[in-house]
Chain A
Amino acid sequence: GQSLEQPSEVTAVEGAIVQINCTYQTSGFYGLSWYQQHDGGAPTFLSYNGLDGLEETGRFSSFLSRSDSYGYLLLQELQMKDSASYFCAVQHAGKSTFGDGTTLTVKP
């Protein structure tokens, strides 16, 4: 089966940098995606890593190490609007398996 682990909660202050880690166990791994979900809303796609290394998209970056079955999402210059849940998801066999999510709280 597939399993992913990520911290349940992270708190940071406005303007800071925060890293959300994700470790996974899976077969047929294609890539690791990250999604953001505001309370009561729909998840939106943030980033994808199919190969080892860092992908940068504006204030958000994502990293993957396939040999370590590990990835992280890095959020820089945190803003209050970044308070949300963040999910890592493993792509495999034509579908995705999601982690339980990390709730990020950004404080003034």
Chain B
Amino acid sequence: DGGITQSPKYLFRKEGQNVTLSCEQNLNHDAMYWYRQDPGQGLRLIYYSQIVNDFQKGDIAEGYSVSREKKESFPLTVTSAQKNPTAFYLCASSPPAKGSNQPQHFGDGTRLSIL
């Protein structure tokens, strides 16, 4: 079945450590997105990519980095510069967003906590 796979489901980060969250999709979607969700709040865009080897900062990119070397993969690194990383991280993909209805398909998320 086609879908988006995020791993791990739970992740713990030590002070000063970088951690990488995996996101893989087999939907053949061009666009991929990373969101952060804090308890009781909406989704805030961290980074997004419309095509391989290209990505743009979202609204809260500081302390995060991404790469898009393959169409299927869009890993997110939470760096030590992100001082409050505890949150639920969601990855999504969609066909190219060119003004028409392009619903986003979400993975099951990764819960990141500080040790």
- Give chain A's interface residues, CB within 8 Å of chain B: 30-31, 33, 35, 41-45, 48, 50, 87, 89, 91, 94-101
Contacts and interface: CB of A to CB of B under 8 A. Distances in A.
Contacts of B41: 100-101
Contacts of A89: 43
Main secondary structure of the interface of B (DSSP, over half): loop
Given A98-B42, A100-B41, A42 B101 contact: no
8 contacts: A31-B100, A33-B101, A43-B92, A89-B43, A94-B96, A94-B97, A98-B35, A98-B42
Contacts of B99: 30-31, 50, 91
B16 interface: no
B42 A45 contact: no
Nearest to A55: B101
Interface of B: 31, 33, 35, 41-45, 48, 50, 56, 58-59, 90, 92, 96-109
Contacts of A91: 97, 99, 102
B105 A45 contact: yes
Contact of B108 (A35, A42, A100): A42
Contacts of A33: 101, 103-104
